[in-house]
Amino acid sequence: MYTLLTGPFFYLSLGVCIIGMIVRFYRYFTGLSWQLDRVAYKAWPAMGFKGAVRSIYKWLIPYGTYSWRSQPVMAAAFFGFHIGAVCVPLFLTAHNIILKEKLGISWFTLSPSVADVLTWTAVVSLFFLILRRLVLPEVRILTDKKDWGILLITLAPFITGLLARYQVGDYSFWLTAHVLTGEIVLLAIPFTKLSHVFLFFASRAQLGMDFGIKRGGIRGTKMAW
């Protein structure tokens, strides 16, 4: 089973994720309205690019926007989870070994202690985000069964990875479960809200261009907006 998961199923899940997200990106940008969006972006590329870059990097910085600063605890949990969710899968030594074997690529790796801290931070932060959905009525009312499913899918690789890391029970079982749940996440990304892993950059770029061009971003011009 492990051989199957780290062989054909690995390539399948990675391929579905990459091809699926290319399609999602294409559909996102071609779906923009010529009257409302793309005409303005084409006419003012420099200002649009500036607005896009500013929007992306501001939202990538903890407390870099008013929205983050207005919800400091939520922002801490959000970044605590996402930093771990990005860094651990990409830079864990064991993951890099698989990438080197299967794809011939690798990059710097995290020390075991740093990886442990990031993993636990991600798990605790995700539990806080789950609790937030349970406690706050304005968030709970917007959460449906699919959202809970996505949260469980996202949490599963971390829990199984920790159980394998500390060799709780059957190590082989938890390692296999960890690989399987990780690849389920890859398969789910293009078809669920997990697509925001990549579409975040598309939506923030578009919103940044929108505000940079059409909502007072270019002052002193004769633009119609």
Predicted model pTM: 0.82
Choice between 8 and 190, residue whose per-residue pLDDT is larger:
190
Is residue 223 situated within a structural domain?
A: no
Look at residue 223 in the predicted model and tell me its pLDDT. Answer: 44
Is residue 138 situated within a structural domain?
A: yes
Is the pLDDT score of 18 beyond 90? yes
Is residue 98 situated within a structural domain?
A: yes
Q: What is the CA radius of gyration of the chain?
A: 20
Tell me the average pLDDT across 2-8: 79
CB distance 200 to 57 below 8 Å: no
Is residue 185 situated within a structural domain?
A: yes
| DSSP secondary structure, the chain, as one string | -HHHHTTHHHHHHHHHHHHHHHHHHHHHHHTS-IIIIIHHHHH-HHHHHHHHHHHHHHHHSTT-SHHHHHSHHHHHHHHHHHHHHHHHHHH-HHHHHHHHHHHS-------HHHHHHHHHHHHHHHHHHHHHHHH-HHHHTT--HHHHHHHHHHHHHHHHHHHHHTT-S-HHHHHHHHHHHHHHHHHHGGGSGGGHHHHHHHHHHHHHHHHHHHTTTSTTS----
Is residue 130 situated within a structural domain?
A: yes
Is residue 22 situated within a structural domain?
A: yes
Look at residue 190 in the predicted model and tell me its pLDDT. Answer: 92
Is residue 151 situated within a structural domain?
A: yes
CATH code for the domain in which residue 73 is found: 1.20.950
Is residue 66 situated within a structural domain?
A: yes
Look at residue 219 in the predicted model and tell me its pLDDT. Answer: 56
Domain coverage including residue 199: 2-214
Tell me the average pLDDT across 135-155: 87
In the block, residue with structure tokens 């919103």: 207
d(CA 156, CA 177): 9
Confidence of residue 120 (pLDDT cuts 50, 70, 90): very high
Look at residue 221 in the predicted model and tell me its pLDDT. Answer: 52
Number of domains forming the structure of the chain:
1
d(CA 145, CA 156): 17
